[in-house]
Structure 1
Amino acid sequence: MTASTQFLAVLPLPEFHTLSQDQVRGATCVWDGVGLSPETAVDLGERPLRRVGGQAGWFPRACRRCALEQAMNALVAHSQSCEQCVDDRDLCPQGSGLVRAVRAARR
């Protein structure tokens, strides 16, 4: 897992069972279904997926616009309810991780 993927892996995703096969395969964005290419895809990190008889890894991808939007939304939601972020976001692991997720989505 790359450093930028590590921070994007904290973003909440749509429910797995609601996704199309193309979204599950990473051919389209998990949020808006836009087609992805190696140049436009943002890797959201490995996610655990419970399966009958065990657990498997799933590697969702998104378009840059959706990854940035979701990272910003998560950062705003967290910051509004975290006293530590109000004082100094650098001291909050989740807040600083979400800031890094926003930066990673912009790349």
Structure 2
Amino acid sequence: MPSDTVSASDNALTLLPLPEFNSLSQAQVRGATCVWDGVPLTAETAVDLGERRVRRITERVSWFPRACRPCALKQAMDALLEHGQSCEQCVDDSSLCPVGLTLTRAIREARR
């Protein structure tokens, strides 16, 4: 789940929870296919989900997952809905919640 601190310079899509790294195919890890549904991606159809770090045996390595637009949009909308249900700030005034605003930005980025 997204953290409570989000910088304005963050790629909003990095807040989206991903499938378990070890459950992904090589093509999904390489970014050749969507991390959620395995659909083949091109430079035009891919949505960059930002750098992620994963522990591999004795070290942490970076990887750069990608998704198709429909999956990125669905995941962003689901994350915003889940966050909004448990965030007091979003209930009071969603325009003041940095996580909610960033997830809303993730929805816009997925729609581009």
Give the structure-1-normalised TM-score: 0.93
Q: Distance in 2 between matches of 1:96 and 1:79?
A: 10
Cα distance in 2 for partners of 1:43, 1:73 equals 18
Q: Does 1:54 align with 2:71?
A: no
Aligned length: 105
Structure 2 unaligned regions, length at least 5 = 1-7
Alignment of 1:9-48 (within 5 A): 9-48=14-53
Identity of aligned residues (%): 69
Query: What is the CA-CA distance between 1:5 and the residue it aligns to?
Result: 6.8
**Cα distance, 1:53 vs structure 2:** 3.0
User: Separation in 1 of the partners of 2:65 and 2:33?
Assistant: 9
1:83 to 85, 88, 112: 88
Note the residue ranges of structure 1 that are not aligned, 5 or more in a row: none
Asked if the contact 1:4/1:104 (under 8 Å) is kept, the reply is no
Note the C-alpha offset of 1:83: 1.4
Q: For the structure 1 residues 67 and 46, does the alpha-carbon distance in structure 2 shift closer, same or farther, using more than 3 Å as the test? A: same
What is the aligned partner in structure 2 of residue 70 from structure 1?
75
Deviation at 1:52, TM superposition (A): 2.5
Q: CA offsets, 1:40-99, max 9 Å, x none?
A: 000000000112332110100000000000000000011111111012112111111100
CA distance in 2, matches of 1:106, 1:5: 18
Sort the Cα spacing of 1:8 and 1:14 in 2 relative to 1 into closer, same or farther, 3 A: same
| Structure 1 vs Structure 2 CA RMSD | 1.5
TM-score, normalization: structure 2?
Answer: 0.89
Moved over 2 A (4+): none
